[in-house]
Amino acid sequence: MGKSRILIIGVTGNLGFHLAKTSLQFSHPTFALFRDSAYSDPIKSQKLHSLSNSGATLLKGSLQDEASLLEAIKQVDVVICAVSSIQVLDQKLLISAIKQAGCIKRFIPSEFGVDPYKAQISDMDYNFYSWKAEIRRLVEAEGIPYTVISCNFFMSFLIPSLVQPDLEAPPRDKATIFGDGNTKGVFVKESDVAAFTISAVDDPRTLNKVLYLRPPGNVYSLNELIEIWESKIGKKLEKIYEPEEELLRKIKVIPYPNNMKRIFLYSAFIKGDHTYFDIESSGGVDGTKLSDKNLLHILNSGLWNIDGKHLMLRQWVPGILPHEMDFSTTTFWVQVHNLPIDYMNIDNAKRISQQLGLLHKIDLNDKGSITLGKYLRMKVEVEAYAPLKCGFLMDQSPQPDRWFDFRSKGYGSWLQANPIEQKSSRLVEIISSSKASSQDYMARASQNPTQTPDDSFHFRSESP
């Protein structure tokens, strides 16, 4: 069993896009559900093209279309929803589809904020948290395996203004401190939230749990934040302390939704909703205790080679015996050599990968396209004990078919051990279990011109 196949809903949003990019980076087969209307928005369209070029499978659908949801869900193992707060209740049809499909081993609903079960402002949040709590109760009632991500504030929210709700940039002269300024809030970058989330999908310790993200270096009071800013600008600010009663008065006077920033401020820095409870004693899981950056790098950044031998790695799961670990698949970087330049495009790379195994990633340049050079390069997951294909025939009708070699490199240089004897680091051509060359194959093919459908390909040509 290889990496979980992940469906992400809401990929054109900020967090959803980070989730999809991180899923691809961690070598998960990644599927992105999007609405037809997304292509009419230049920014959303650009995000979809970027994800497609990086190897994601784009699927048309919406939370209002049950048929499209079922079709998408049946292709994956994990569903992550990252829609906006106003769409939270739209997840009801998604939950119904997940229940019908019966194939999802983990669902991550769209919470990604303060735990709604812990929020102490349910009477003033305009259903912001109550709707999220309603969705979680529905997931629990349906018996769907889940993980909830509680990341509190995104780093892009309030921090750019130094938690001054009426400003867009940090103050230079005076700053308002709400309450006594000592209650602490938590801020996490969206990219880090995505990394924690993708790392959790296959972790049994997070099953049917709330994963709380509370990194020690991301927990600050208002007094501490202002002190850091003062140190940076080399100047003391005038501090205006606004008591709880005045903050509540402004929340009532300022119309919705313009008062929401102050409501979130009240939740975090007056009521202490980010930090007033102990994570483990409340039955949650501390994400920072699960994360090991070196471990994630080794598992997700391979492939690794020790003295010329391919090294297969799996993360150990507590309670599992070594012989019960699944090593039936592994991944390789494969090069496809000698393709005509106008055939070197992403569509053809995806088609070629289907004959090798499960596509994880296509090697792209900084512009999100394939560099026109000697070969196409892609990362694929294959059966570990099955013969590797040595190449493919390309249909060039009316011209004779042409044979092209696959060459494979199965390791990453970071963990490549120095061999006892100096050996060349050149790529080794993988020819199943034989030493036959492509010329040998062509000789055999000329004697037996009949080919199976899997041996012959039709490609689309593009102008370089």
What the block records as the tokens of 386 is: 């099955």
The kind and range of the H/E element at 15 are helix 14-25
Going from the C-alpha of 156 to that of each of 24, 169, 239, 418, 454, the distances in angstroms are 23, 12, 23, 44, 49
Measured between alpha carbons, how far apart are the two ends of the chain, in Å?
38
Say which residues have a Cβ less than 8 Å from residue 349's Cβ, sequence separation at least 6. 336, 362, 370, 376, 378
Task: Evaluate whether 40 touches 64 at the Cβ level (below 8 Å).
Answer: no
Comparing CA positions, the residue from 406, 410, 329 lying closest to residue 375 is 406
The kind and range of the H/E element at 221 are strand 219-221
Query: For residue 311, which amino acid is it?
Result: L
Comparing CA positions, the residue from 350, 373, 375 lying closest to residue 361 is 350
d(CA 247, CA 413): 56
d(CA 235, CA 251): 31
User: Which residues are identified as catalytic?
Assistant: 132
Rg of the chain over all Cα atoms, to the nearest angstrom: 26
DSSP 8-state secondary structure symbol assigned to residue 201: T
CA 111 to chain CA centroid, Å, is: 16
d(CA 52, CA 11): 11
